Amino acid sequence: MRIAIFPDIASVAAEAACFIADAARRAAVERGRFSIALSGGRTPWPMLRALADQELPWQHSDIVQTDERVAPAGDSDRNITGLREILGAGAPRHIHAMPVEERELERAAARYAATLQGLAGHPPVLDLVHLGLGADGHTASLLPDDPVLGESKAEVALTQPYQGLRRMTLTYPVLNLARRIVWLVTGEDKATMLARLHAGDTAIPAGRVRAENAVVFADRAAASQMGGDVAQARV
């Protein structure tokens, strides 16, 4: 795992967006398509805005979600709402939204897994997965003590209620096959968990994501518990 530390959130967002855009262009040339899983929440919004300004091969790209809250369409809790708004007119045609509005959620999760397989093979190998890090050590919606952490076969699963809502999430079997993992970690409240992630601490959900081919973009606040040698790293 490589860690790149930048002064503030704005520079983290800009550098991560450039890295992802370069990966997209390379994949489009080498394989003809680019597949990316994007996380939601407010932390990645500056990066997504910077990504929207990049020259990306949207016509050769497929965007999937790492996770989504089970809530109605247009709900402010939904990750897909922000993704579509921020990425603009070109990208939404290529976003594959998690089907969390359906009644039979288990079947919906299975269909989303089939969508992944149609886009990225069986088993699906995504070009890039973007992940965040929670202050409790979760990533995507792989939450502490949730039974979904033990899922070893299904590529998409449903969590128990968390903060009042169930979630649909990609699982370790698909995350750990990705060609690249890009972590975006900002804020002092993430400092302890970032240090544990870097140490490979499998007691936290994030620590079970494969570290090979992973790069972390972090600000100084999030990296405050890292060693000085790491803090000078660059991608």
Name the H helices within the chain.
9-31, 45-52, 79-87, 105-120, 172-175, 191-198, 228-231
Q: Name the pTM for this structure.
A: 0.93
Count how many domains the chain has.
Answer: 1
Q: For residue 8, what are the contacts with CB-CB under 8 A and spacing of at least 6?
A: 219, 220
Question: Per the domain annotation, does 11 fall within a domain?
Answer: no
Q: Which of 212, 211, 215 is nearest to 235 (CA)?
A: 215
Residue 209 zone, left/alpha/beta (φ > 0; ψ -120 to 50; rest): beta
Residue 157 resides in a domain: yes
Instruction: Name the nearest CA neighbour of 1 among 189, 218, 224.
Output: 218
Domain presence at residue 204: yes
Q: In whole angstroms, give the CA distance from residue 40 to residue 107.
A: 23
Whether 227 is in a domain gets the answer no
Q: Give the DSSP H/E element, type plus range, for residue 160.
A: none
| Range of the structural domain that residue 157 is part of | 32-140+148-183+199-210
CATH number for 126: 3.40.50.1360
Tell me whether residue 189 is in a domain: no
CA dist., res. 156 & res. 114, Å (int): 9
Closest to 126 in 3D by CA, of 108, 113, 109, 111: 113
Q: Looking at the domain assignment, is residue 104 inside a domain?
A: yes
Cis peptide before 92 (omega within 30 of 0): no
pLDDT one digit per residue (tens) for the chain, 235 residues: 999 999 999 999 999 999 999 999 999 999 999 999 999 877 889 999 999 888 888 889 999 999 999 999 888 889 998 888 888 766 667 899 999 999 999 999 999 999 999 999 999 999 999 999 999 999 999 999 999 999 999 999 999 999 899 999 999 999 999 999 999 999 999 999 999 999 999 999 999 999 999 999 999 999 999 876 554 445 5
Q: Is residue 192 part of a domain?
A: no
3-state secondary structure of 233: coil
Q: How far apart are CA 196 and CA 217, in angstroms?
A: 15
